[in-house]
Amino acid sequence: MEYVKLSNEVLAPVLGIGTFMISPADTVNSVYSAIKLGYRLIDTANAYMNEEAVGQGVKRAIDEGIIKREELFISTKLWPTLYENDAVVEDTLKRLGMDYVDLLFIHQPAGNYMAGYRQLEKAYKDGKAKSLGISNFYDDDLETLLKESEIKPHVMQLEAHPYCTEKEVRDRVKEFGTVLMGWYPLGHGDPGLVKEEIFGRLADKYRKSNAQVVLRWATQMNFITIPGSKNPDHIRDNGDIFDFALTDEEMAEIAKLDGTKKYYNATKEEVAKYANMHLPFES
């Protein structure tokens, strides 16, 4: 495994497993399998409704002596309807069955997001979050958060893949040392991205799959990358990317794809409407 150093000196694995749209039953097995296969980063969220399952998968691996908690990097996200709930961090940790998380995000720039970020800052000071993040922030909302936050975000989670590297946003937060964590790393199942000619050519050269080349590109971009899967074979293959490296020339050729498309294009109004949905466990 390779790691990237965050601005607060915390080391984060550059590759992890995402659990978005994975059922709780499948999440337990996915997390457990990933840990056995050498993954050290697990990403979840209040809204994924599988934090308990993540905790169960982690506990199973710990109980079997496969891993120690301090060797893992667990990230989760607070949902907007809970930003002003003073118990949100404790409730999140309780669902995970953990005393702390390694990375705590606010999930969307909706509702009173600065109240949500204050929850993160308090958790960081209390040792309940080792690093802080923001997810899906752009433009005015990003500027507001950067201006009003006491502790600048260590990680920023955005859609990121060869068609969309969010260079403008990355350049904006560069002064703070904020690192990108990318979702939809394989293009949200778009075969057109993975089947781009360059990835087929490089897959033949390095004797890897096209998807493995894409994921290796992401890690060499220093993007924390979180492909999701419930298939143990896919989980294994996604992690088998550290025995080769793309050249500078190959990285430059892939860079020509940037700006092609994004897969998630919701308006601010659509985001706000979705973010106002209450989760089943809310009191």
Q: 220 near 242, Cβ under 8 Å? A: no
Q: 96 near 73, Cβ under 8 Å? A: no
The SS3 call for residue 36 is: helix
Query: Would residue 206 show up in a list of annotated catalytic residues for this protein?
Result: no
Q: How does DSSP assign 9-47, residue by residue?
A: S-EEESB-EE-TT--HHHHHHHHHHHHHTT--EEE--GG
Partner residues linked to 78 by β-bridges? 106
In the structure encoding, which two tokens stand for residue 169, read together?
Answer: 């946003």
Q: Which helix (H) or strand (E) holds 181?
A: strand 179-183
Residue reference for tokens 């990097």 = 73
Nearest to 120 by CA among 139, 96, 102, 104: 104
DSSP 8-class letter at 174: G
The residue type found at 43 is D
Catalytic residue among 39, 48, 100, 113: 48
CA dist., res. 47 & res. 36, Å (int): 26
Q: 203 near 212, Cβ under 8 Å? A: yes
The residue type found at 224 is I
Partner residues linked to 43 by β-bridges? 18, 75
- Catalytic residue positions? 48
